[in-house]
């Protein structure tokens, strides 16, 4: 059964942090603005994610930037020191493509990306 944790979660001691971490198998993190900002790593995030991996957690990198492929995001992650593999990277366009493929969709799709300035 999948359980979603509600955030923010107030953890005020190490035992409570360990208890919560022990109850989690997967960590899903957005990319731009969460672990990096444009082309700058947010300090400490590669080390935190590696520490979570070392505790047996599976890290999933998600992005709603449909203009980037999984391979492009993977390359950026690895250049920034996140040691990711392609199976950990999900972008909105590839997720939708897999969803449609799984349902034997045969039509044509037009992807539109709106940039607000």
Residues forming the active site: 25
Closest C-alpha to 24, from 7, 40, 4, 44: 4
Distance CA 35, CA 115 (A): 21
Which of 89, 99, 85, 45 is CA-nearest to residue 68?
Answer: 89
Which of 38, 92, 49 is CA-nearest to residue 70?
Answer: 92
């Amino acid at each position: 059964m999948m359980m979603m944790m509600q955030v923010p979660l107030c953890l005020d001691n190490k035992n409570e942090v360990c208890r919560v971490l022990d109850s989690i198998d997967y960590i899903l993190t957005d990319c731009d603005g969460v672990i990096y900002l444009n082309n700058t790593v947010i300090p400490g995030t590669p080390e935190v994610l590696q520490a979570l991996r070392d505790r047996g957690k599976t890290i999933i990198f998600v992005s709603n930037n449909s203009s980037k492929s999984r391979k492009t995001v993977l390359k950026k992650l690895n250049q920034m020191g996140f040691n990711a593999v392609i199976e950990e990277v999900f972008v909105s366009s590839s997720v939708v493509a897999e969803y449609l493929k799984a349902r034997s969709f045969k039509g044509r799709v037009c992807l539109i990306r709106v940039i607000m300035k």
